[in-house]
Structure 1
Amino acid sequence: MHRYSKTVRIAVLVLVVAAIALQLPASAFGVDTSFSDVPSGEWYSGYVQKCAMLGIIDGYGDGTFKPGQSLKRGEFIKMLAASIEESYSTTKLKGVHWAEYYWNVLNEFGVLEDVGIPCTYAALEQTITRYEMAALIRNTLYNVYGENTMEVASPETNIGDYSVIGMAYRSAVEQAYGKGILGGIDAKGSFGGDYSLTRAQAAKVIVCLLWPSERQAVSFATEVLPVIDAKDSFAFSYRNMTTAERRLALFGDANKSYFTSASDAGKRIVTVEVKTWDINSSGVKYTRTWYVQVNAVVADEVKAIFEEIYNDPERFPIKALGGARYSDTLRHSWGCAIDINPTENYYINYSTGATVGSYCWKTSDSPYCIRPESSVVRAFAKYGWGWGGQGWTSAVDYMHFSILASGG
């Protein structure tokens, strides 16, 4: 996944603000930022000027901006793609729509994940809703800029129409509110997600996305900080240890290579609580809590990994989860391996044909299948954990993650 800095954009914005404050002529930047229907006293005038100065949004041939006019999906997708520094796409164009190139840019950045806007003429010509805008902004925050997620306290109280927001958009709306990028449209703080996004609103959203200092202060949201810095994970440290150092850290004994039972492991195996998504019988994703046993030395990074999986826009569903066990001498008996959704992510031995589980992402489109590009694989890899789905000489194990880079 791409991760880009906003440094250049912010530097330009500083110049834009300076130009506005000093009342420099627009020609100083070679861009006309004055529009006959954008009075200087309107709440959106500064946002429009900044976006116009950056080339993110244009006016009309008659000198107007039309701030109250609704945006089409293709138009907002272009604005968002233009706001991402050094963005480009190498995908071959098919001539579907004038905004196809910008759609490809956002698609390659992961901004279109779970938004439901296909690259068709009809889809890109539709008016974009505030719900769709929120989903795109959330994905840009986390998939492009790598910002930390926000925990919103009592969203049903702080977002006036929260009860009518569908599950598909609740996370996006919560994050946009929590970041101070979006606010309510009435005294109750209602979001109004079914309303179309206007050009004036879009200008504000883009500026607040790029420039955190422009965002509103939010008293009911707190930033979710990583439990552990990825570079400090035991999985990374393990690679530079001697065998004796590894065994001392894992088992407290330089001559021990695995635990034979829970009593043998004692206090070196601990239980961590993690949250994940799952899917109910109606097909709706919901939160569930798991208690997983792992080695104490990897407890913090396991919590951090699952926090990232849970907060990722993909909302990968987990219906079965396993940690430490003592049936063999490998990584599970160390407390340093995790199995996820074993039925949908099988193990197969190439030599014997022996299998555990029923299928994998290559043979099924089940939402429980772990795919190479999934948030699950990315989160584990960030902390140095390998995936058995990469395969080895004799087998492949799609359910399995461990502290070894090979996923063994």
Structure 2
Amino acid sequence: MKKMLISGVTALALLTGGIVGFGGVGSSVEAAQAATTFKDVPSTHWASSAINSAVEQGYFKGYADGTFKPSSPVTKAEMASILGRLSDQPNATTQEQNNFTDIPEWAKSGVSTAIAKGFISPSTYKGKLDAQGALQRGEMATWLTQGLTVVDPDYKQALSDVTNTVVPAKEYFTGKLASAQKNAVAVSLGTGLMSVANDKTFGVDRTTTRAEVAVLIARYAAVAKTKPADFQGLNELRAVGLTGTNLNIIAPKYQKTPEKKFSPNMDYSEVTDDFSKVRNKNIITDTKYADLKIKNWIIVNTYAKDAERSIFYPVFVDEGYTLVRGAYYSFAELELSVKSTTMNTLQAGSLLNSATINPMNSPNSKAFAAYAGPVINDFTKTRGVFAVNNPVYWSRGLLHFDKELISAVSLVTKEGPAYSVIATD
């Protein structure tokens, strides 16, 4: 009876795109041999290894004509069946019922299992999964990150922590990343589970291909075995979400400025090294040309290697670029309330007497242009005069570690709290 059931599902899987997810592909040796003979998956294919592995484990099967069709889209029913087959995935503590009315008979068991394992939450749908529809990347990110919350509760906390973070994807900077998918996209990027494309977009509306799913299966297994705190990128995204800055992760030597460096006339009890206390607050400026708030403050270390540079390095800095004299990059997202119809960029620079947060300069890298991040020139006209009253853009500055150049980064709010940090030995 069992053999008949497997055989039937396997035959149907071939008709519906070759996804198995229920076994029945023969021995792992036979499956691996089959994988290496796919006419459309040469050894040079970017996902060749992952495809071979996925076929060997029984998640996919090729087509009768000897192809794998790596670029073909995967439907939601097919992906649910695959996720249901992840044997290391525990069941969710709270079980939801499969109340979808549009699931084909062959996929009902797989969808129910994927729900039980926490990947799919029927309560977020309206009775229909659109099971035969192609799975888009935004929904894929949601499913996978929901699965991670079942594996480790800290992933659930991470999904909450990144609510107000800066997402290193073009859609975030252009305002096209829906809030319903933002958190899942952020965690997917922070863990390396998913990535942006060459055009710097995450592609929430792009369909997911068979080759991509093969890669994602392997990545998910690796991420699920890793603690959230072990991903620096995710730590940065969580820190920015909660406090507005990644300073404590990238530049931990910057600590609260000692009391002895302050004027005796200043109430040191008002000084903090918690950036969240001044985030989005009105900052006291040196001149009165505009009111100023800092929404986010990103630090990038160009001397470190790979991910240690910051998850935001590819967003703000061109690959291979390194600063001199021990400086880190400082990028601040500013919100101005311009008070004069003639205020220009030079006057913006006079708002804060700081080399670290300089409202006059914006990122000028090709990378940031590719991400379509807003810069000061987007809001000015002839002779640098501001054309809008409430621009929101990113500034560029330097955070120094050269002892001859180090100075405290201090921001005092009109509401009272003062933020001040300086590099320590």
TM-score normalised over the length of structure 1: 0.42
Q: Which has the higher relative contact order, 1 or 2, with Cα contacts under 8 A spaced 6 or more apart?
A: 2
